[in-house]
Amino acid sequence: MNIEEVKKIIKENGIQSIDLKYPDLVCNWYHITFPSRRLDYVLKNGIPFDGSSIPGMKSVESGDMILMPDISTAIIDPFLEVPTLRMLCYICDADSRIGVKKDSRSVVKRAQDYMESTGIADKSFWIPEFEFYLFNEAIINNGKFSAGYSFTSAENKEDLPGGYKDIDGTAVANRKGYHIDIPFDKYAQVREQMVQLIEKIGCPIRYHHHEVGLSSQQEIETEIIDFETITDKMMYVKDIIHNCALKNELTATFMPKPIYDEPGNGLHFHIQLRKNGNNIFYKKGKYADLSDEALYFIGGILEHGRSLTAFTNPSTNSYKRLLPGFEAPVKLFFGLANRSAAIRIPKYATSKETKRIEFRTGDGTCNYYLAMSALLMAGLDGIKNKILPTTENFFGPFDDNIFKWTEEKQAKLRSIPATLEQALEALKQDNEYLLAGDVFNKELIETWITEKMKEVIAVRNRPHPFEMNLYYSL
């Protein structure tokens, strides 16, 4: 989209305001709004703001920063009453007007430029799978003298909202929710509203359905989209899901493990590399028809898998999802159609056009820009250094259920970190692959570790409600 097209949209739709959005380092969203008549001025000069007020962005003594709009991301806001155009921004230094090293969107741009510079590929394409719960109620309390939470769902007989009688008998129990049909899939129409809005912003959807969790767990999956486009679209998708849920008196969460002993929310990434329009992951006749480049790419991700989780699974709650028994991978290996693997090769993607890999470890608490850039950098490092995943190094391929192996054999597989703190420690030890092409830098990585350790300590220092069951009466 160019400036003439943007101005045409403003005129034809009576746009009165322009809302600029940008993420902080951990992917909380911020915004600032200005009258549409000031567009030309803002495109030239940007919007100044105090970067020191954004966690992890900049110090107080050098806080002046500039938001530079990216007109290619312009969409009409689907929720505000006043006709408003949204745009995403680059966060720039006030003097240079160049995206700063800690600006997530600029990391994506540098990752794309680096990939092109290697000559390995000129495009990467991605399919994200969004998993989330839609609760009727989410009551959360954390204070000095009380703590707890309560989620309810009108779909689950064991989890009904207060005052809800289920007089039509459509709440369900004692079964899984995967692909459950209407009327038991109570919020199928809400999910459809989300999909319609998502498609209107130019993000095509492959399909959507009820997921395994009976308390209204959902999945929406996009079609395959290029790297720079999909990272931005994902921000809009998440926002649409949250706002559409609220308009229907529901609340959405992408939290990896909101409910104990129930399925967690993952964020799976399907990845494919192309050069001159050709899928370089496909070669007929090898294992799963994967090329050497595909195998090396897999090897790079598995080799750096422990440090990658610091970006792909960056919450203390992430590691409550990564447990055996819930189709969540806990070991770093790959296999064909193997849902216990960190990297699954979809068995149905058999043609040259569709051949791809699926990274299954990630979750929705990640900063999409950083997590996907890190995955791309790890894979490219694997190709550059010809890191071949083999049964000898226990990276696979393994097509059987590894949880049926002997404990001795399972112990030879490399494990995903068990906690966020372990993941951050792995990132401290293994980050050189991220620094290639100046895509990431030491300051960004160190700030990330510092900010995330604050979360580790905040959770560690608080009494857990279940500790009351265990220790209160001793």
Active site residue 358: yes
Instruction: Give the active site residue among 77, 131, 232, 303.
Output: 131
Among the options 219, 293, 381, 421, which is catalytic? 219
Exactly one of 24, 70, 77, 129 is catalytic; name it.
Answer: 129
Write the secondary structure of the chain as one string of H (helix), E (strand) and C (coil): CCHHHHHHHHHHCCCCEEEEEEECCCCCEEEEEEEHHHHHHHHHHCEEEEHHHCCCCCCHHHCEEEEEEEEEEEEECCCCCCCEEEEEEEEEECCCCCECCCCHHHHHHHHHHHHHHHCCCCEEEEEEEEEEEEECEEEEEECCCCEEEEEECCCEHHHCCCCCCCCCCCCECCCCCCCCCCCCCCCHHHHHHHHHHHHHCCCCEEEEEECCCCCCEEEEEECCEEHHHHHHHHHHHHHHHHHHHHHCCCEEECCCCCCCCCCCCCEEEEEEEEECCEECCECCCCHHHECHHHHHHHHHHHHCHHHHHHHHCCCCCHHHHCCCCCCCCCEEEEEECCCCEEEEECCCCCCCCCCCEEECCCCCCCCHHHHHHHHHHHHHHHHHCCCCCCCCCCCCCCCCCHHHCCHHHHCCCCECCCCHHHHHHHHHHCCHHHHHHHCCCHHHHHHHHHHHHHHHHHHHCCCCHHHHHHHCCC
Catalytic entry in 24, 103, 185, 211? 211
Marked catalytic residue, from 262, 358, 421, 455: 358
Alpha-carbon distance values, 89 to 41, 106, 203, 347 (Å): 15, 10, 19, 39
Is 219 labeled as catalytic in the residue annotation? yes
Q: Is 304 a catalytic residue?
A: no
Is position 226 annotated as part of the catalytic site? no
- Whether 155 sits among the annotated catalytic residues: the reply is no
- The residue annotated as part of the active site, out of 31, 339, 460, 464, is 339
Q: Which of 50, 64, 158, 353 does the annotation list as catalytic? A: 50
Q: Assess whether 50 carries a catalytic annotation.
A: yes
User: Where in the sequence numbering do the catalytic residues fall?
Assistant: 50, 129, 131, 211, 219, 268, 339, 358, 360
